[in-house]
Every structure is written in structure tokens, then in C-alpha cells.
Amino acid sequence: MMDRKIPVDAVPVSGDGELAELGVAAAAAAIRNGDITSESYSAALLRRARTYSDLHSFITVDESAVLAAAGDADKARAAGSGAPFLGVPIGVKDSYATRGLRTTLGVEVLGSFVPAEDSDVVGAIKDAGGIVFGKTNLVEMSFGLTGNNSRYGQVKNPYGHDHVTGGSSSGSAAAVAARLVPAALGGDSVGSIRVPASLCGVVGFKPTTGRWPKGGVAPVSHTLDTTGVLARSVEDCALIDRIVTKDAAAPPSDRTDLHGTKFAHAPRQYMELIDPETEAHFRNALRRLRDAGAEVVEIDLGDDFSRLADRLTWNLFFRETMEGVSEFLRRNNFPVSFHDIYNELKPELRETWGKVVLPGGQGYVSQEAYEATLSVDRPELQRRLAEVFTHSGFDALVFPTTPRAAPLIEHQSRFTIAGEEVGERSLAKNTVPTSGAGIPGISIPIGLTGHGLPIGLEIDAAHGQDRKLLDLARRVESVFGTLPAPA
């Protein structure tokens, strides 16, 4: 849905393409220096969002509100404001509450609900001068990895409109890739930022769990959930991270090389099922990292690593949903109950919830198994990954973010990887351990397949080392450059 209360077509369209290419830092600097106005920049992005509305990347855009906020930003700039994001529009996943702008969580039963308060992260963006451009599409209740929303539309991949975007932060990834916004907020419980970032060719940053505030954002699992961001550069992710967390740590260094950097990769765990073209790109990426001066060492995380990570992460994902959603709806004054939402889910998702989310379902995790997951399995996964960075001295763990490029929309329920038929959960196979352990991870694009679809590289760091990870990712990004814009 696009609310079009006042026309933006009256603004000259020359330069729209150039304006759309600006990232967050560049746009903020251009507005601050008086090279462009927030109003002209916002109007250009609004026109572009109209042109590419068939991507279904947004659920709601209130054009009049965007332009009014842009006008206010220009007045503030004239009055001397130095807010770091002044006048820059940001996309917001529709799981975040936004004051005065409807928040659907991707479900029809909330199609007209407008919150009275902003989520914590949105509040931080606004305090820094940023503008909420619109609410991006998502899988219903953030439960899915392909971008298929039965009410608000299947989100399409800007690099191939017949391919999926990944999910659940599907609209955020598509909007950033298509140059509709310079960045967008997302959420990640099992890979819901990094998977769509990889498939859509943008940067997706999942902070250490607990680093970013989660207030006012619909949950899946309180143990796994984290808010985060998608952008077209690591620099922009780092800038937004500093604003959201109020991290006063020293800014990133000017260093650009990788000499002395030590990367680990674990092929038995992260490449046991992988598309040959993705594998070729990843191995080429390792060669390029070595050529740039880094040391890359093969490690092994254990025979049961993947089973351990899958079991504990999906156990927590499903087991914590009902309690978390119910409490969120009550605390944030949403006018529906958990069962109101459950009863109106699309049939296949309602069936899944009936099996694994609702007590009494055949796959519902018992209290005993849940407690064992938290007290035994999760600490063991955290221990193994911590050893990579502490005892073994690696700066980062690297792997293909997803085991293949974006599947076709028509085959999103069942597709193949290296000739084996799999389901959509396979797209998160490599991102799940990072979520289960709660460590920071970032996906950056490293190239395109022969069919022009993006491939992503994930870089993980030790718990709490987010700033070091972002600085390292910036240097890795310089090795691979940026992808060309979608045609």
C-alpha cells in the first residue's frame, strides 16, 4: 500500500538516479553541506518507490509524512542542526512499532493498526535526524525465509524478479538493493537479515544478541532475536550501529589492508551441501583474501556441530514464539491476541504453528528439552565458536552466507542444492549457528552468478566484538568492491 496524499511529481526528476545511489553517510553529508535538500532527495526516492512498486518491498509509505519530515529537516539544517542522519529516509521492517504509521507485523488482522509509540531503534534513528520512509514487507510474523507474504505480496528480488529475496526481512533487502532507500532496519533470529542480504546483494549486519535494543519490535525468540540493519556498504551499517547503540568507542581506523589478519573457515560444517557455483565464488574469495595479505586456515568444529546448532536454534525459535508474541501484544497495546493472529495466518503457516508453536502440537518442545537446550546445548555451541576466536586466535570465521543463490519464486517451497531437493530452511543452514551462539555476523556481497544473482560472504566475530567486526568487514569489502545496481 502506498498512501499518496500530495503529489511529488511536481519536483524535477533530473538526477533521480544519482540521488538514489547515495548511501546513508553520503546522503547525510550532502544534506549537511547543502549540496542537496532532504526534500529533493526524499522526493526522488518516493518516485522510485512508485516506479518499482511491483517489487512489493513496502507495505506502507505515507508520502505526505515523508515530505513533511524532509521539509522540517531542511529547516533544521538551515537553523544549524548537526544531527548525524539529518533528513535521510530509512526503511523500517514492519515488525517495528512506528508512532503514527501503521504496523501490521505482516498479518491482515493488524491491517489498520497505528501504534502510539515508536520502537526503541526507530526512536534512536529519529533522534539522530532520520526519517521513516515506510514500512517494509516481511513474512507473516517473521516466520519464513523466502519473502512470501500472502496478504501484502511476494517480495521480488531486484536482481531477478522471478526469484525470491530471502526472509524474513525481505522488503528491507529488496528496497535497499533497488535503491529505494539507502538503508533499512531488519530483524534476525535464524538469519532473517543475513539471508536476504546475501540473496539481494546488499550488506546485512546482525549485532551481538543484546547489543541493539528490541523494545517495540515483534519477537520470535527472546533468546535469539536481534534488531539490525541492511545497507549497501559496511560504512553505513557501522554508522547506524554507532547511533543506535550510542557506542562512543573510537571510530574505525583508516587502515585498508588485511596484512596480519587471520581467517578461519570450516568446510565440513559450512560447505557440506552447497551449490557448485556458490562454492566456486567462495573459494575464489578465499584466494583473494590471501592475495590481500590475510592468512586463511581450515578448521573443524566437530562431527555434531551442525546437528547441535540446528537442534538448539530451531528448538528456541519455535518454543519461545507463543509466550513472546503474547507478551509483546499486551505490553505494546496491540488490539489483538496471539490466537487472533494464529486464526488468520495463511494455512501453511497456521499448520506449522499448530505443530511446533502451540503447546500440545506434535513437535512442541517439552519444558525438559527446552531447559536442556538453554543449559547444555547453547553453552556448548558458544564454547566451540568462542574457541575459534580466543584459544585459536582467529580474527573472524568466514563462510558462504547461503548455500546457493536465490531460488525461483515458483520453486520456493522445494528447490535443489547440488542436486539434492531441500526446503526453505536450508537457506539458513549456515546462518543458524551464529544466531544460536548470539555472536555478531555480517554478510557482504562478493559477486554474481552467471544468471546475475548475488552471492554473499558471511564474516563472524567473537561475542561483543561488533566494532572490530565492522572495521574488518569494511576492509574485506574493499577487496571485492560493490555489485553493479540491478538492471
Tell me how far apart the alpha carbons of residues 56 and 389 are, in angstroms, rounded to a whole number: 40
Cell of 167: 526472509
Catalytic, 135? Answer no
**Catalytic residue of the set 42, 119, 142, 168:** 168
Q: Is 330 exposed, middle or buried (0-12, 13-18, 19+ CB in 10 A)?
A: exposed
CB-based burial, 114-132: b 16+ in 10 Å, e otherwise? ebeebbbbbbbbbebbbbb
State residue 109 phi and psi, 5-degree precision: -65, -20
Any catalytic annotation for residue 170? no
Closest CA to 195 of 173, 210, 179: 173
Q: Is 392 a catalytic residue?
A: no
Question: The C-alpha cell of 55 is what?
Answer: 517489487
Exposed/middle/buried for 355, CB within 10 Å: 0-12, 13-18, 19+?
A: middle
Residue type at 3 in one-letter notation: D
Q: How far apart are CA 36 and CA 29, in angstroms?
A: 9
Cis amide prior to 375 (ω within 30 degrees): no
Tell me which of 38, 42, 57, 93 is the catalytic residue.
93
**Nearest residue to 305 via CA among 434, 394, 469:** 434
Catalytic residue among 42, 57, 172, 192: 192
CA pair distance 229, 154, nearest whole angstrom: 21
Q: Which residues contact 291 (CB under 8 A, 6 or more apart)?
A: none
- Active site residues per annotation: 93, 168, 192
